[in-house]
Amino acid sequence: MPSMSIHPHDEPDPLALVLVVDSRHHPEGGVAATVQDLCSAAADGLYRTLHSQDPETLRRVREWTDDRIRKIVKHARGKKYREAVESDLPHIVSRIGSAEITVFAPLRPSEYWPGLAHAQVAGLHAERLGTADPAALPVHLNGALAMSTGKLVAQLCHAVQQLDWEYPIETATWAASGRGVRATWDEAYPGAAGLASDVVDAGYTEIPPDSHTAWILEQDLPRG
């Protein structure tokens, strides 16, 4: 199975799926949402966006997937989060456990309103604490790479999207189950054999080029 390489757009105003994380803090400090819940909320919002029947969302997703796909993970809290997600443009709010993520159908930077433009990209660091449903879909992340929370959420979403392309029936079964995903960290990339999805990053942010960042095993695919 071919791996999926993620490249930035060469154009000055590229389309990107935008995920905005509510990075509210718990009383002791730090982001309240756990990585596990953020990953499940992001995967849920991504899948629902890809399969939305809203005409404007369909148009935007079609244009985006005809080009080089790109995902941007932003974050804000409190009033700034509300300002970042208040828009008439098509979006989906996914709330799972401690996490809330608003997923916008692909946007161009020129379409950003001030609240979204001011939401941060860097600096999202959530704890790997929390438990995931044992029956959730395992998505393996490369633990040898130093990825921020936002980076790993984007890479996990790439893996789920590729799975949807390659195994649409199994992915639909997973989505219908409501089980979410279970992020697991592996010490090393296992090789392409037996992988249902395999994301290779171009290395423009945080990590070296051609790094295998996220993958899903064929043996873990849900069956009808």
**pLDDT, tens digit (0-9, with 9 covering 90-100), for 118-159:** 999 998 988 876 677 888 999 999 999 999 999 999 999 999
Of 132 and 90, more confident: 90
Hunting for tokens 């060469």 — which residue is that? 10
pLDDT of residue 10: 57
- Look at residue 161 and tell me whether its pLDDT is greater than 50: yes
Residues 124 and 147 sit within 8 Å (Cβ to Cβ): no
Residue ranges per domain, the chain? Answer: 13-117, 137-220
pLDDT of residue 2: 46
pLDDT of residue 202: 85
Q: What is the mean pLDDT of residues 105-129?
A: 92
Give the model's confidence band at 1: pLDDT under 50 very low, under 70 low, under 90 confident, else very high.
low
Query: What is the reported pTM?
Result: 0.92
CATH number corresponding to 137-220: 3.40.1490.10
Handedness of CA 52, 98, 139, 199 (dihedral sign): positive
- Please tell me the least confidently modeled range out of 66-70, 90-94, 143-147: 66-70
**What crossing angle do the helices spanning 149-166 and 168-177 adopt, rounded to 10°?**
120
Q: What is the mean pLDDT of residues 185-211?
A: 93
- DSSP letter for each residue of the chain: ---EEE---SSSS--EEEEEEE-PBPTTSSBSS-HHHHHHHHHHHHHHHHT---HHHHHHHHHHHTS---EEEEEE-THHHHHHH--SS-EEEEEETTEEEEEEEEE-GGG--HHHHHSBSS-----S-S---TTSEEEEEETTS---HHHHHHHHHHHHHHHHHH-HHHHHHHHHHT--EEEEEESS---STTEEEEEEE--SSSS-TTEEEEEEEGGG----
Q: Rounded to whole angstroms, what are the CA distances from 128 to 20, 122, 153, 198? A: 19, 18, 12, 22
What integer best gives the mean pLDDT of the chain?
Answer: 91
Please give the single-letter amino acid code of residue 100: E
pLDDT of residue 103: 98
Q: What is the mean pLDDT of residues 174-201?
A: 94
CATH superfamily of 13-117: Bit1 (3.40.1490.10)
pLDDT tens-digit readout, 8-60: 445 788 999 999 999 999 777 778 899 999 999 999 999 999 999 999 999 99
Query: What is the token pair recorded at 159?
Result: 């893996």
Distance, in Å, from the CA atom of 224 to the CA atom of 221, rounded to the nearest integer, reads 10
